[in-house]
Structure 1
């Protein structure tokens, strides 16, 4: 089937830290006909990079804990989320540059090699954001700064380290609720099973 998308109109309806785009779109249906114009909103926040960092010397997963207002506002949790390090790509920055910068800012580790885990859309029904997820191994020599985030960005980040059994228990107990972190930890668990 020849799939077709016709954008009849598009405009930015909100422009601040992120943008919201309104578009009227017609697209090919699975029966081959063309849809009527559909109003679609796209939350445009740019693309992001994230990484699961594992200290091979201490055999601990290095995560961060920080306040995420949207998770508090929905009434489902206290607002503080344990997650992998992540951040948005700056203009002209590639995903690996971005995540190396974020790991240094948030946890104080200098990372050399990054292994790709996955590239995915975290919420494709409403956002065009693409996330590049990586795995990085470090040891204590790579810790060259304190981390904790940037004061200029008003970041207040706690570094959290889990042994592998603690990480698997946190997964099983539903304590990890961030999607990119779930994906990364499940990937690591599977990788370690394959190696044993």
Structure 2
């Protein structure tokens, strides 16, 4: 059954949609490296009627793509390590292990962005791309939607420093055994905080579920 012919589970459909929101005023309060809007709005209530008009700030970000690099033959994962200003107070420090990621430019398909970002941030060429999931990282205050893929690559001899200096990118590609990363997902692992961003966690958990299919090896689900 295809995606277009499947019927949605009505238990998962929200009661309200976009037409249950009225934006009274929209103001740009910051427009720099990022953009911030201030909205005055109201919406319908579960108990009936409408809410009072209230104010919310919205961090405006467009679609983005994330790619988990996986070598099925070696059962290795490629993650990038880079500085993140939002992680200044992180116990492990502000250099985070992440999937390759980048913003979607006008006119680009998601797959085109995925392949471009992988080449820029790892120097690798992707074989097949498998969709993982699409989600809103922080819908309470941001409009960003992140589209995740698994990119099958050859990680033999991979590594090095990448990124675009004109965009202040200083990126190191790390190649790690899949089992090492999966073991770090356990809550009682001493390495549990080494990977602590949502996109990478989602991708690794997806890979744990699909490992046997991607590698073609029975029983390749330990870790």
The TM-score, its normalising length taken from structure 1, stands at 0.90
**1:105–1:147 contact (8 Å) kept in structure 2:** no
Deviation of residue 75 (structure 1)?
5.2
User: Of 136, 139, 143, which aligns to 1:124?
Assistant: 139
The TM-score, its normalising length taken from structure 2, stands at 0.80
Match of 1:49 in 2: 65
User: Of 47, 52, 55, which aligns to 1:36?
Assistant: 52
Q: Does 1:180 align with 2:199?
A: yes
The separation in 1 between residues aligned to 2:137 and 2:152, in whole angstroms, is 24
Match of 2:178 in 1: 164
List structure 1 segments (4+ residues) > 4 angstroms apart after TM superposition.
none
Match of 2:24 in 1: 8
Deviation of residue 9 (structure 1)?
0.7
The separation in 2 between residues aligned to 1:76 and 1:38, in whole angstroms, is 36
The separation in 1 between residues aligned to 2:72 and 2:43, in whole angstroms, is 49
| 3-state secondary structure, aligned to 1:180 | helix
Deviation of residue 108 (structure 1)?
0.8
Give 5+ residue unaligned stretches, structure 1.
none
Match of 1:114 in 2: 129
* Change in CA separation of 1:148 and 1:189 when aligned onto 2, cut-off 3 Å: same
The separation in 1 between residues aligned to 2:112 and 2:132, in whole angstroms, is 16
**1:23–1:41 contact (8 Å) kept in structure 2:** yes
Deviation of residue 191 (structure 1)?
1.4
User: Of 110, 114, 123, which aligns to 1:99?
Assistant: 114
The separation in 2 between residues aligned to 1:41 and 1:193, in whole angstroms, is 44
**Alpha carbon RMSD of aligned pairs, Å?**
2.2
| 3-state secondary structure, aligned to 1:185 | helix
User: Of 96, 99, 102, which aligns to 1:81?
Assistant: 96
Match of 1:90 in 2: 105
* Change in CA separation of 1:21 and 1:76 when aligned onto 2, cut-off 3 Å: farther
Match of 2:12 in 1: none
The separation in 2 between residues aligned to 1:157 and 1:185, in whole angstroms, is 20
